Amino acid sequence: MAQEDDMNAAALRKARLDDEENDDPLVLEREAGSSASTKDHTVTFVLAFLVAVFSDLADIFVIGAIPIVGDALDAATGAILAALFLSIGGRRTMKRMIPLIGATLFEFLPFGITDIMPTFTLEVIYTWYMVTKENRAED
Sign of CA dihedral 47, 108, 103, 105: negative
b/e sequence 89-103, b meaning 16+ C-beta within 10 Å = eeeeeeebeebbeeb
Closest to 50 in 3D by CA, of 75, 76, 81: 81
Q: How many CB atoms lie within 10 A of CB 114?
A: 18
The torsion of the CA quartet 95, 99, 102, 107, rounded to 10 degrees, works out to: -150
pLDDT in tens, the chain (139 residues): 667 777 777 777 777 766 665 555 555 555 555 444 456 788 999 999 999 999 999 988 888 778 788 889 999 999 999 999 988 877 777 888 899 999 999 988 877 778 888 999 999 999 999 888 888 887 6
Which pLDDT belongs to residue 35? 45
**Cα(138)–Cα(46) distance, integer angstroms:** 23
Is this structure's pTM higher than 0.75?
no
**Cα(74)–Cα(63) distance, integer angstroms:** 10
Q: What φ, ψ does residue 93 adopt, rounded to 5°?
A: -65, -45
CA distances from 43 to 15, 66, 79 (A): 37, 32, 18
